[in-house]
Amino acid sequence: MIRGLLLGIILMLYCVCPSFQQDTTFVYNGFDQGDHRLHLDGSAIILPKKHVLQLTNATATQIGHAFFQEPVDFNSSEPVSFSTHFVCALLPVGETSGHGMAFFVSHSTDFKGAEPSRFFGLFNANGSASTRVLAVELDIAKAPDVGDISDNHVGIDVNSAKSVISANASYFSDKKGRKIDMKLLSGDPIQVWVDYEGTTLNVSLAPLRNKKPSQPLLSSTSINLTEIVQGRRMFVGFSGATGSTMTYQYILGWSFSKTMASLQKIDVSKLPKVPHPHNKIKSTSLVLDALLGLISLLVLGLLTGAAYMYRKNLYAEVREEWEKEYGPFRYSYKSLYKATKGFSRNEFLGRGGFGEVYKGTLELREVAVKKVSHDGEEGMKQFVAEIVCMRRLKHRSLVPLLGDCRRQHELLLVSEYMPNGSLDHYLFNHDRSTLPWWRRFAILNDIASALSYLHTEAEQVVIHRDIKAANVMLDAEFNGRLGDFVGTVGYMAPEITTMGPSTGTDVYAFGVFLLEVTCGRRPVEPGLSAAKRFLIKWVCDCWKRSSLIDAIDPRLAEFSSKEVERVLKVGLLCANLAPSARPSMEQVVQYLNGNLALPEFWPYSPGIGVIIPPPQLMLPSLSLSSYSSNNSMFMTHSIVYGSGR
């Protein structure tokens, strides 16, 4: 009987929702929870009461899809075309930018194998995942491996995150008769129009109150949608993803139709407001703090002076006049104390450089908090000046410093949490699964470009002074990010003790780093036979025997011999004993990516493979200010980092 009832219900549904082809046309002026016409997966939700569709939240490496449940069908006599207009907003989580979002037309709703971050939850490194996709990406991260032109662009993607055509975000203003730049990650609502007819796909942008521009931003005339999605039935929707950095991706309104003529207007006055979760959290916690303060004043007015002093000491901070210019990167000690659950042992990540590192959760994001002890005013000023310098450095392969806090004898540095710890664990810790060659090669390229940035593109020449695997952190996607330390013997160029650090000493250390990553061993292994003890010499000896490739980490199975040999040779070139014979980091970047041929040199060339063994294995650490000069800044303190547990 129950069966009969079910059958009846199914039949009834069948009659209510006939599956014959219909003209898929809809308009959303805001979204309602429990809308059954939309299918959401992953991190995508409709925010309760806010009527906003949110694709991703402040969690790393998330994917969220939202698509119209019903497929768009075209019968055989109907031309395949569509027009859509939507309003979206991208809002940074914290201070670093994350990844963008995309409008898509897909063959199916199964996105298995799609990856987050620069792949938008639609593609992966091989192209498209389990389904075929046409997408319009609004991208706010520049990923060179997929050919991104900038960190603020719009692109048309056909079955791959590599856009077939892209342009920096801008719109054509009919009033002014010219293009006006737009910032995708402004948090302001952005209108997007996508029109497809014949084989032409047009994409236009504009700020909220503007009319649709008369000229599209992107126009591709070679798009065959039936071929791309392999059929005349397709799904339409939005996809967003986060990587190690996050963005809130919101859709406020959406109109779709098969033809431009039947596209319904979005009513801008009915659109929901862009949520600002950060302000919200801050203001509610402020209100909460104030309320708690009032209650504790009223109820706990009997607190003794001693208890008061205890509390005061617990959260006491030092702020001084000269610090003010360093601006808003200050965190309160209290917030860091809470973020790390009172610097709990459970949150302890490790010890490095000058202090202890703790994991914490601050404003919904994971951070690493490093406690550094200090004494002396001068050292402190120097230190803060360096933090400011580091704060200005922006490169995707540097571990970003988010802020700091200063107390009586203590400095706290807050940086992004690097979930995969430091590279040395994967190279030297034989219990751990190792990294394949392609990943190592990508990391080497990451670090080379970061170092080239420090040497040539930063406001001041910045000398890192301590390049080594232990200072290379791996983010959630195993991208290499340079952190920092004070010099370690074995990576230090011989002249450093007499002439001080320079860009040349960094190049030397980078050369040694290239060798250690390729060979999977430390530069000096006292336990090995004399022939193998010093990495540089050993690699050079392999080359002398015409078997350079023998130097490779024996755990590596698949690799390109050409690439490995090139890397080893670049390593030897950088580690030339004579500083003047070393290449610049800009050249190194080009040698590595094959854009520049290596100079002619042999294992017997002067300075190649020559080492001056250090007199002892550990030198005392170098003092902070002894290498200051007028035009360069040394990163003498390590940027805080997280490490895998």
Interacting residues with ligand NAG between 3 and 32 (CB under 6 A): 23
| Shortest distance in whole angstroms from residue 491 CB to ligand NAG | 34
Interacting residues with ligand NAG between 337 and 396 (CB under 6 A): 364
Interacting residues with ligand NAG between 96 and 115 (CB under 6 A): 113
Nearest to ligand NAG of 225, 608 (CB atom): 225
Nearest to ligand NAG of 129, 482 (CB atom): 129
- Residue from the set 110, 174, 227, 377 that interacts with ligand NAG by CB under 6 A: 227
Cα 613 from Cα 610, distance rounded (Å): 9
Neighbouring C-beta atoms of residue 57, cutoff 10 Å = 20
Nearest to ligand NAG of 217, 536 (CB atom): 217
> Angle 503-519/437-452 helices, nearest 10 degrees?
180
CA-CA-CA-CA torsion for 640, 150, 117, 70, nearest 10 degrees?
150
Token look-up 């104390």 returns 337
DSSP labels for 411-460?
Answer: EEEEEE--TT-BHHHHHH-TTSPPPPHHHHHHHHHHHHHHHHIIIIISSS
Q: Does residue number 197 form part of the binding site for ligand NAG (CB under 6 A)?
A: yes
Q: Does residue number 561 form part of the binding site for ligand NAG (CB under 6 A)?
A: no
Interacting residues with ligand NAG between 116 and 175 (CB under 6 A): 124-126, 149-150, 168
In contact, 535 and 512? CB cutoff 8 Å: yes
| Shortest distance in whole angstroms from residue 64 CB to ligand NAG | 8
Tell me the CA distances in angstroms from 637 to 320, 509, 568, one per residue in order: 21, 17, 29
DSSP class of 489: T
From the candidates 148, 404, 446, 466, give the one annotated as an active-site residue: 466
Give the H or E element holding residue 287.
Answer: helix 277-299
In contact, 591 and 563? CB cutoff 8 Å: no
CA angle centred on 115, ends 100 and 484, rounded to 5°? 75
Cα 485 from Cα 479, distance rounded (Å): 19
466 is catalytic: yes
In contact, 180 and 162? CB cutoff 8 Å: no
Tell me the CA distances in angstroms from 255 to 32, 84, 251, one per residue in order: 15, 6, 11
Q: Does residue number 220 form part of the binding site for ligand NAG (CB under 6 A)?
A: no
| Shortest distance in whole angstroms from residue 562 CB to ligand NAG | 20
Q: Does residue number 78 form part of the binding site for ligand NAG (CB under 6 A)?
A: yes
- Residue from the set 195, 386, 541, 553 that interacts with ligand NAG by CB under 6 A: 195
Binding-site size, ligand NAG (CB under 6 A): 27
In contact, 379 and 387? CB cutoff 8 Å: no
In the chain the first and final C-alpha atoms are separated, in Å, by 57
| Shortest distance in whole angstroms from residue 635 CB to ligand NAG | 26
Cα 532 from Cα 561, distance rounded (Å): 21
Cα 116 from Cα 245, distance rounded (Å): 11
| Shortest distance in whole angstroms from residue 198 CB to ligand NAG | 7
| Shortest distance in whole angstroms from residue 207 CB to ligand NAG | 19
Q: What is the 3 state secondary structure string of 248-263?
A: EEEEEEEEEECCCCCC
| Shortest distance in whole angstroms from residue 219 CB to ligand NAG | 5
At 131, list the tokens.
């389904």
Contact stretch for ligand NAG (CB under 6 A) within 220-228, 545-553, 568-576, 629-637: 220-228
Q: Does residue number 202 form part of the binding site for ligand NAG (CB under 6 A)?
A: yes
Nearest to ligand NAG of 96, 497 (CB atom): 96
371 labelled as ligand-binding?
yes
Nearest to ligand NAG of 395, 465 (CB atom): 395
Nearest to ligand NAG of 78, 145 (CB atom): 78
- Residue from the set 200, 259, 361, 628 that interacts with ligand NAG by CB under 6 A: 200
| Shortest distance in whole angstroms from residue 155 CB to ligand NAG | 11
Q: What is the 3 state secondary structure string of 304-332?
A: CHHHHHHHHHHHCCCCCHHHHHHCCCECC
Per-residue contact string for residues 30-69; x = within reach of ligand NAG by CB under 6 A: -------------x-------------xxx----------
Nearest to ligand NAG of 206, 622 (CB atom): 206
Q: What is the 3 state secondary structure string of 495-515?
A: CHHHHCCCHHHHHHHHHHHHH
Nearest to ligand NAG of 222, 629 (CB atom): 222
| Shortest distance in whole angstroms from residue 62 CB to ligand NAG | 6
Contact stretch for ligand NAG (CB under 6 A) within 95-103, 218-226, 407-415, 560-568: 218-226
Per-residue contact string for residues 457-476; x = within reach of ligand NAG by CB under 6 A: --------------------
- Residue from the set 5, 15, 75, 630 that interacts with ligand NAG by CB under 6 A: 75
Tell me the CA distances in angstroms from 232 to 76, 353, 443, one per residue in order: 8, 60, 42
Interacting residues with ligand NAG between 271 and 310 (CB under 6 A): none
Nearest to ligand NAG of 196, 534 (CB atom): 196
Cα 508 from Cα 451, distance rounded (Å): 12
Of the candidates 111, 88, 257, the one whose C-alpha atom is nearest the C-alpha of residue 186 is 88
DSSP labels for 69-120?
Answer: SSPEE--TTSPP-EEEEEEEEEEESTTS----EEEEEES-S--TT--SGGGT
Question: Would you tell me which residues interact with ligand NAG (CB under 6 A)?
Answer: 23, 43, 57-59, 75, 77-78, 113, 124-126, 149-150, 168, 195, 197, 199-200, 202, 215-216, 219, 224, 226-227, 364
Binding-site residues sit at: 371
User: Could you give the residue numbers annotated as active site?
Assistant: 466
Q: Which residues are annotated as a binding site for ATP?
A: 371
